[in-house]
Amino acid sequence: MIVVTRSGVSDAEIDRIRERIEQLGLRTHISRGEHRTIIGCIGDEALLAEASLLTLPGVESVTPVMKPYKLAAREFVAEPSLVRVGAHGGAVVGGNRLSVIAGPCSVEGREMLRETAVSVKASGAGMLRGGAYKPRSSPYAFQGLGVAALEMLAAVRAETGLPIVTEVMDTRQVEEISGYADMLQIGARNMQNFSLLSEVGSVQRPVLLKRGLSGTIKELLMAAEYIMARGNRDVILCERGIRTYETMTRNTLDIAAIPVLKRETHLPVIVDPSHAGGRADLVAPLSFAAIAAGADGLIVEVHPCPSDALSDGDQSLTLTAFEALMRDLQPFAKAVGRELSGPAPSGIAAA
Ligand code: PEP
Ligand code: MN
């Protein structure tokens, strides 16, 4: 922690600041300038976390030196972490091979889910998404099929082998959904639901943590820290666009968040181009940008008939548009030295 004093600070004020820091068990290093004095605090910075040094007379600013996230920090684990999703190795997120999760916004029925899963798998997707409980802005909008959707997801997993990812909105759902899902999704609206983060931190399921609508990168990392601090180290971060003044897109995809997160954390980072742009025609260009910027994968909404979708139809790709996306992504993956499963001419996913 570095404490900078106001200009004209008195010796008595400096003594008081120094004494307060030393009382808390740290040592100080004082460097007196003509107008200001800089007090370096040496020792465990966490001891100062609640000390409110800014309230002491004469203090102008207090700047932490250490990062507030520890388990998520790159310093903690030098190598990028790999997160395994699903039984028998299932899918691996974070390695050289890019991971693509695809499927409908909401599970609307068994047949549409099955048709989507078979098709996205053939196009190269490695995991299936589908909401059973939906966080809708309106209480009158479709809220998801609940446990019936979880049953459908499990049945389609049994048929296709694709690990399944679905959102958990409430602490009361964690146990039930963990009984079905291979990965638990924390939606943007719950990024700072700390009791939910702690709850998913204590189950043995990987967590896909989406960035909040107005969440900073640091807040996203602190949310991951909540999960990890409870013992669950299998966290994947997802940039899904943030709310800005722009109205031509649903959200603004923060491309810079990808390299910033890759620098700050060892956790895998994926991108959701569907919720970022909010329009099907934006999904491909945003996906290309995400892969070029270093993302470890994508989560994409796909529906057999987007115009009939009960949620997020405007941003959902058709099955053939998703196939084209997986083909068109190949040169971008190659350019960054990553591998990506794609559609085979026969319609069977290439290795
Ligand atoms: C979703 O994945 O369907 C969803 C609701 O996403 P987000 O939480 O990012 O809005
Ligand atoms: Mn959606």
* Per CATH, domain 2-66 is 3.40.50.12140: no
Going from the C-alpha of 101 to that of each of 4, 121, 216, 322, 341, the distances in angstroms are 48, 10, 24, 11, 12
Nearest CA to ligand 1 atom 10: 188
User: Which-ligand-closest: CA of 133?
Assistant: 1
- Position 350 scores a pLDDT of 52
Q: Which ranges in the chain are annotated with CATH 3.20.20.70?
A: 83-335
d(CA 186, ligand 1 centre) in Å: 8
- pLDDT by residue (tens digit) across 87-107? 876 899 999 999 999 999 999
Rounded to 10 deg, the angle between the 257-264 and 217-229 helix axes is 40
pLDDT surpasses 70 at 7: yes
d(CA 337, ligand 1 centre) in Å: 29
Type of residue numbered 318: T
Q: Is the CB of 303 under 6 A from ligand 1?
A: no
Into which CATH architecture does domain 83-335 fall? Alpha-Beta Barrel (3.20)
d(CA 69, ligand 2 centre) in Å: 29
298 and 272 Cβ atoms separated by less than 8 Å: yes
Closest CA to 267 of 68, 29, 23, 77: 77
Q: Is the CB of 253 under 6 A from ligand 1?
A: no
Mean pLDDT within 187-214: 98
| Confidence category of residue 34, pLDDT binned at 50, 70, 90 | confident
- pLDDT by residue (tens digit) across 208-246? 999 999 999 999 999 999 999 999 999 999 999 999 999
Contact partners, residue 322, CB within 8 Å, separation at least 6: 102, 119, 120, 123, 125, 300, 302
- Position 349 scores a pLDDT of 54
Mean pLDDT within 242-267: 98
- State which residues have CB under 5 angstroms from ligand 2, the bound ion: 105, 312
Q: Which ranges in the chain are annotated with CATH 3.30.70.1140?
A: 2-66
- pLDDT by residue (tens digit) across 131-182? 999 999 999 999 999 999 999 999 999 999 999 999 999 999 999 999 999 9
Q: If you average pLDDT over every residue of the chain, what do you get? A: 95
**Which atom, in ligand 1's list, is nearest to the CA of 189?**
8
Pairing assessment for the beta strands 127-129 and 164-167 based on DSSP bridges: parallel
| Confidence category of residue 64, pLDDT binned at 50, 70, 90 | confident
Q: Is the CB of 275 under 6 A from ligand 1?
A: yes
